[in-house]
Amino acid sequence: MRIGVLTSGGDCPGLNAVIRGAVLKGTKIHNQSFIGIRDGWKGVVEGLTMPLDRHTVRGLGKQGGTILGTSRTNPFEGPHGGPENVQATLDRIGVDALIAIGGEGTLAAAKRLTDAGLKIVGVPKTIDNDLDATDYSFGFDTAVEIATEAIDRVRTTAESHKRCMVVEVMGRHVGWIALHAGMAAGAHAILIPEQPQSMEQICDWVQQVSDRGRAPIVVVAEGFTLNTMETAHSEKGLDAFNRPRLGGIADMLAPEIEARTGVESRATVLGHLQRGGVPSAYDRVLSTRLGMAAIDSIMREEWGTMVALRGTEVVNVPFEDAVGRLKTVPEDRYEEASILFG
């Protein structure tokens, strides 16, 4: 059997370790061969491949990014998309089964393709940790670690200048990175999409900390929104909120906090720093295990499932249980973290 491997969507620390885990177990234990599909579903649709064997994956465990490249192409779009075309392309490039490593969109596409008879096993990839069917996804731990170290760093500047620091982390729809990094770094407020807050509440937290003579640290997920149509009491503030965003939410919050509380405030947007570079040991182990489990699932012909972490075990979950549901931060976890606020 020849197994194709693809990585799709935004890159994530641990992708290469998944690939390596699958290839090493597949070649050494199951005697299968592999082929790399380049640039995600685009490679499937267009038949872009690269060699993928034991030598290709040497030393990949600690390398960030993905050697296969990635894209946001949808395999159902375009003249060569759809199940029949994809199957034809896979036949042409000699792929018997596919390991698709990607996020919600990739898994949803994989589900539709397996429903149409294609042989696909999935590996969940979401740096935001927003897939419901797995306890944790790889890349998340690294992102939290990077964000935590960054907050640790800006804190010393904040304290020296008695400033409020607003640090923006990833999390378009869910606040897991903000929650964990904020708890780890001892933030005085954590703002996440699941829990809209008013400027009054945010400024109250900031003011409490400032009144104790300390420098307030606010961690905000990029997808956070204020819970009411706020009117800023300063021209500057208003302007920031009405203007189309060039920066992120932190760039808007910081001047507004300063205008309302009088506490000098600065924004830091971590952005791409959180996705790149050497994965944490936790993510390397998890990725390697998921990759190995993926090739095992191929051998067991568990088409239409993805591998997932449950407790300390790696299990298989049907695609339908994984897609269409966002794993949001539950109320009690936010309350737990909010004990540190203010």
Catalytic sites, residue numbers: 128
Q: Which of 48, 154, 257, 294 binds a second copy (CB under 8 A)?
A: 154
Place of tokens 């199957």: 87
Phi, psi (rounded to 5 degrees) for 164 = -90, 130
Q: Nearest Cα to 143, choosing from 190, 193, 177?
A: 177
Q: Kindly report the number of other CB atoms within 10 A of residue 336's CB atom.
A: 12
Kindly state the smallest distance separating residue 174's Cβ from a second copy, in Å. 14
For the record, the structure tokens of 98 come out as 């596919």
Contact between 210 and a second copy per CB under 8 A: no
Site for a second copy in 218-277 (CB under 8 A): 240, 243, 246-247, 251, 266-269, 271-273, 275-277
Contact between 280 and a second copy per CB under 8 A: yes
- Of 77-85, 192-200, 227-235, 285-293: span binding a second copy (CB under 8 A): 285-293
User: 44 vs 337, which CB is nearer to a second copy?
Assistant: 337
Q: Which amino acid belongs to residue 38?
A: R
**Size of the residue set binding a second copy (CB under 8 A):** 75
Contact between 115 and a second copy per CB under 8 A: no
Site for a second copy in 124-153 (CB under 8 A): 135-136, 141, 144-150, 152-153
Contact between 294 and a second copy per CB under 8 A: no
Place of tokens 């040991």: 281
Site for a second copy in 160-189 (CB under 8 A): 160-162, 165, 180-181, 183-186
Q: What share of the chain is helix, strand, coil (3-state, %, to 5)?
A: 45, 20, 40
Task: Confirm if 196 and 227 have CB atoms less than 8 A apart.
Answer: yes
User: 113 vs 293, which CB is nearer to a second copy?
Assistant: 293
Site for a second copy in 36-65 (CB under 8 A): 59, 61-65
Site for a second copy in 59-98 (CB under 8 A): 59, 61-66, 69-70
Report the b/e string of 173-196 with b at 16+ CB within 10 A: bbbbbbbbbbbbbebbbbbbbbbe
Place of tokens 């070649």: 27
Q: Which of 42, 188, 260, 284 binds a second copy (CB under 8 A)?
A: 284
Contact between 207 and a second copy per CB under 8 A: no
Report how far residue 291's alpha carbon sits from residue 56's, in angstroms, rounded to the nearest whole number: 15
- Of 108-116, 196-204, 217-225, 306-314: span binding a second copy (CB under 8 A): 306-314
Place of tokens 């030598």: 55
